[in-house]
């Protein structure tokens, strides 16, 4: 399940991915550091591949970027891609403590409707 992968370039890849996501979100380095609750210099070092952030820091960055923390964990070698896939959207929704039961049901209905559209569109 959880593993450590210290392949050369792994952290540079994570940093480049974070930088790309930050630019896509049109956030400055300073703004992302504020949103993620990490210092500006530390975030800069992560983006340049000079620091190895913990899973907690990656989670904070992912939350600030509004992306999946699992995608960062896979890139960082903290999580196998198969393990990330096994989590799945429905399981993630059900496990999110920030959502109440009605919100979870609503999100699951919307997700199911999107999947249904994709499946019907693919078979047409």
Q: Does 59 lie in the same domain as 34?
A: yes
* Residue appearing with tokens 């997700």: 111
Q: Does 33 lie in the same domain as 64?
A: yes
Residue 76 lies in a domain: yes
Q: Does 103 lie in the same domain as 72?
A: no
Report pLDDT for 37. Answer: 97
Q: Are 74 and 84 in contact (CB under 8 A)?
A: yes
- Write out the residue range of the structural domain in which residue 74 sits: 10-85
Q: How many residues does the chain have?
A: 124
Q: Does 114 lie in the same domain as 65?
A: no
17-74, pLDDT tens digit by residue?
899 889 988 999 999 999 999 999 999 999 999 998 888 899 899 889 888 787 777 7
What contacts 51, CB < 8 A, 6 or more positions away? Answer: 11, 42, 45
Q: What angle do CA 7, 9, 83 make, to 5 degrees?
A: 55
Nearest one of 83, 89, 85, 79 to 109, comparing CA atoms: 89
Q: Does 96 lie in the same domain as 81?
A: no
């Amino acid at each position: 399940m959880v593993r450590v992968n210290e392949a050369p370039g792994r952290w540079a890849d994570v940093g480049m991915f974070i930088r790309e996501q930050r630019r896509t979100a049109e956030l400055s380095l300073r703004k992302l550091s504020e949103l993620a609750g990490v210092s500006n210099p530390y975030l800069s070092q992560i983006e340049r591949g000079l620091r190895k952030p913990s899973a907690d820091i990656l989670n904070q960055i992912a939350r600030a970027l509004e992306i999946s923390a699992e995608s960062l964990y896979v890139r960082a070698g903290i999580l196998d891609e198969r393990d990330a896939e096994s989590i799945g959207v429905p399981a993630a929704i059900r496990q999110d403590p920030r959502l109440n039961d009605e919100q979870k049901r609503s999100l699951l209905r919307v997700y199911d409707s999107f999947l249904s559209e994709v499946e019907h569109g693919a078979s047409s």
